[in-house]
Amino acid sequence: MLALFKPHGAPGLELADRPEPQPGDHEVKIRVLRTGICGTDLHIESWDAWAASTIKPPIIPGHEFYGEVVEVGRDVRDVQVGARVSGEGHIVCGICRNCRAGRRQMCIRTVSVGVNRDGAFAEYVVIPESNVWVHTDDVSPEVAAIFDPFGNAVHTALSFPLVGEDVLITGAGPIGLMSAAVARHIGARYIVVTDVSEPRLELARQMGADLTVNVAERRIVEAQRELGMREGFDVGFEMSGHPGALPEMIENLNHGGRVAMLGLPSAPIDVDWAKVVTHMLTIKGIYGREMYESWNAMSAMLQSSSELRGALSAVITDRFPAREWEAGFAAAREAHGGKVVLDWSEV
């Protein structure tokens, strides 16, 4: 099969012939039709310090995907050949304390598709049946391909009650954009989104943001005044990883404010911990998706809301045939649009 392949530890990927994977007894083989490009994939392609310390080539990256089941192992019980599916990218052990307590997203032995084992930038991918998510007919192939990052947005947004609350989202990347759409769907009052990219802030307005703030030009407190807010934001989603984002968010929270933090910091963050204590703030780290409540919530929300389906479609701003993967990676690296999707159906 053709696959985007990293043969050794150096910058770059190559579209190369690789052995076609075969499913084990409890595994499912999927013909890949669409893939999303994630920031993790950009790290692997550029071979930065994180990739060099984490990835063990040779490997096929890619973990955001949609495809058709073409073969199942002999012990697979529920997933059928012909099903249209995506996959949870975290494969867990099932026997550590968290797994046994139903907190599989906190497994201490997690193996990641496209990071620790071959992934979905290929004609075929194999994953355990327990990681397969079967889609309903009303989910488009492109939206299904970004269920992984959509799950991150849903996990973040559902961390705290949002109905009638004022929400601050720092970072209008694809996951931040999707979290704004989810917050609007759930019933937040005011939603403010920050970034330094005007095209992404325009996308945030399409997602339902009441106000956007280019933090290269003005401060969040001005948005509070413009909206007539008197006591600060109730909930914050920190999606950017910028070292200045969390401190400014804390400065703009109400007493008892809550923060769901998904963005991975790009440098150490200087937090006013005295304010965290005296204002009784809650900061919660978010990683991946709740397995599998986030997936259930995603499917249910999309089935019940054509507006949310439309918002997710609008997040996908760039589409390329898989053979033009270099152009797709370049578009993703520019970080001015939304999600980039590669089409593998013609490979």
Residue positions annotated with a catalytic role:
40, 43
Residue 336 half-sphere exposure, CB side, CA atoms within 13 Å? 5
* Inter-residue contact 10 to 61 (CB < 8 Å): no
* Inter-residue contact 340 to 321 (CB < 8 Å): no
Which of 82, 83, 77 minimizes the C-alpha distance to 128?
77
The rounded distance, in Å, linking the Cα atoms of 55 and 73 is: 28
State both tokens at 326.
Answer: 């270099």
Which of 235, 232, 180, 254 minimizes the C-alpha distance to 211?
180
Q: Which residues contact 130 (CB under 8 A, 6 or more apart)?
A: 26
CA distances (Å), 321 to each of 32, 203, 242, 325, in order?
A: 13, 24, 32, 7
* Inter-residue contact 146 to 341 (CB < 8 Å): yes
CA distances (Å), 113 to each of 59, 96, 207, in order?
A: 10, 19, 29
Strands 211-214, 339-343: pairing is unpaired
Which of 71, 76, 43, 75 minimizes the C-alpha distance to 59?
43
Q: Which run of H or E residues covers position 157?
A: helix 147-157
The rounded distance, in Å, linking the Cα atoms of 11 and 162 is: 42
Packed helices 174-186 and 147-157: angle between N→C axes, nearest 10 degrees: 50
